[in-house]
């Protein structure tokens, strides 16, 4: 059995937006991340993926619920020592390689930020030496240390962001749409780099993406979010072979098949309507306004997120607990 690295328990992150208006960006999400795995997290824009990632990373205080790292709560107040330890073990890679690097800083200082924050007493040359090592690890060169972010392409900038995240030997990385802003031709290179680094340093990833086909290749398991909730979670393979939630089925049926014959034959599940506003969501299943199977039960009661077969979790009234 795999070892659990992170446990997310009934996590909620609400934002107060205006008078008596609560935006439930993350609404009672529970799941575990195993050591060494890549968990892909997908869902439409605004469903709460980044908020969930940021809350796990302690960039937001949760409204309620908790996050446990190696069995220890990290979502509440931590001592300075614990906080520092936490920062070292968990790192984040951001979507926009143009926004996430300070344009006034040289590459050497960007990448060494992590080293400096851990107060490792390094001399100037040792510090630069370490940065060069990191740059080479992500496919950049020694000559790049003295340059500024604008002198690089999007793919190269993302590599700088990855080098910065790796600088302090993290165990767990939240990659928030790390390839979405890149050209399609560069995306595979960055994914391959992340995979290589994962093997080399036994990293665990939470890999966030819009598009379910984008995470198929890199993820061991995939979680699908809808309006702040996790609606399905299972292995990558099962998610594609036997998706249970009507929302996942719709997401998958939107991916074009490479074989034109198969493409012509298959039936499409078309999603009707748009995602409702996450402010003041009514009771019942959040997906019911767009679900072709919706019944009165779905409109009244929120379905529990439960395990319907081993390792396959779903929140839908169509699948009852065995």
Site residues for ligand ATP per CB under 6 A? 15, 17, 23, 25, 43, 45-51, 210, 278
Chain length of the chain: 322
Which of ligand ATP, Mg ion, none interacts with 210 (beta carbon under 5 to 8 A by kind)?
ligand ATP
Which of ligand ATP, Mg ion, none interacts with 25 (beta carbon under 5 to 8 A by kind)?
ligand ATP
Nearer to Mg ion, 50 or 204 (CB): 50
Nearer to ligand ATP, 16 or 116 (CB): 16
> Which residue's Cβ lies closest to Mg ion?
50
Question: What value, to the nearest 5°, has the Cα angle with vertex 45 and ends 153 and 268?
Answer: 110
Which of Mg ion, ligand ATP, none interacts with 45 (beta carbon under 5 to 8 A by kind)?
ligand ATP
The per-residue DSSP string of 254-265 comes to: TSPPSSHHHHHH
Give the nearest distance from C-beta 42 to Mg ion in angstroms. 11
Question: In sequence order, what are the residues at sequence separation of 6 or more whose Cβ sits closer than 8 angstroms to the Cβ of residue 236?
Answer: 40, 215, 216, 219, 220, 221, 222
Give the nearest distance from C-beta 181 to ligand ATP in angstroms. 11
Give the nearest distance from C-beta 187 to ligand ATP in angstroms. 16
Give the nearest distance from C-beta 258 to ligand ATP in angstroms. 26
The per-residue DSSP string of 108-129 comes to: HHHHHHHHHHTT----HHHHHH
Which of ligand ATP, Mg ion, none interacts with 139 (beta carbon under 5 to 8 A by kind)?
none
Question: In sequence order, what are the residues at sequence separation of 6 or more whose Cβ sits closer than 8 angstroms to the Cβ of residue 180?
Answer: 95, 209, 210, 214
Residues that bind Mg ion (CB under 5 A): 50
Tokens standing for 38?
């890549």
């Amino acid at each position: 059995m795999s070892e659990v690295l992170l446990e997310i328990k009934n996590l909620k992150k609400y934002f107060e937006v205006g008078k008596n208006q609560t935006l439930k960006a993350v609404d009672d999400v529970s799941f575990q991340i195993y050591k060494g795995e890549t968990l892909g997290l997908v869902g439409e824009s605004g469903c709460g993926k980044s908020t969930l990632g940021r809350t796990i990373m302690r960039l937001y205080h949760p409204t309620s619920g908790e996050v446990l790292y190696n069995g220890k709560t990290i979502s509440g107040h931590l001592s300075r020592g614990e906080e520092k330890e936490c920062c070292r073990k968990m790192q984040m890679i951001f979507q926009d390689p143009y926004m996430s690097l300070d344009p006034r800083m040289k590459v050497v200082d960007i990448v060494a930020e992590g080293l400096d924050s851990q107060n490792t007493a390094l001399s100037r040359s040792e510090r630069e030496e370490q940065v060069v090592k990191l740059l080479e690890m992500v496919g950049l060169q020694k000559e790049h240390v003295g340059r500024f972010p604008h002198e690089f392409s999007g793919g190269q900038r993302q590599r700088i962001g990855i080098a910065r995240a790796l600088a302090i030997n993290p165990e767990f990385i939240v990659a928030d749409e790390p390839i979405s802003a890149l050209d399609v031709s560069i995306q595979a290179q960055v994914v391959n780099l992340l995979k290589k680094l994962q093997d080399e340093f036994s990293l665990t990833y939470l890999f966030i993406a819009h598009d379910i086909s984008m995470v198929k290749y890199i993820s061991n398991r995939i979680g699908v979010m809808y309006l702040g909730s996790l609606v399905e979670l299972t292995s990558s393979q099962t998610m594609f072979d036997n998706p249970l939630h009507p929302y996942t089925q719709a997401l998958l049926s939107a991916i074009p098949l490479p074989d034109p014959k198969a493409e012509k034959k298959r039936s499409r599940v078309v999603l009707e309507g748009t995602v409702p506003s996450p402010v003041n969501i009514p009771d019942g299943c959040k997906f019911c306004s767009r679900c072709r199977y919706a019944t009165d039960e779905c409109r009244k009661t929120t379905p529990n997120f439960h395990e319907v077969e081993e390792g396959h979790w779903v929140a839908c009234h169509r699948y009852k607990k065995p």
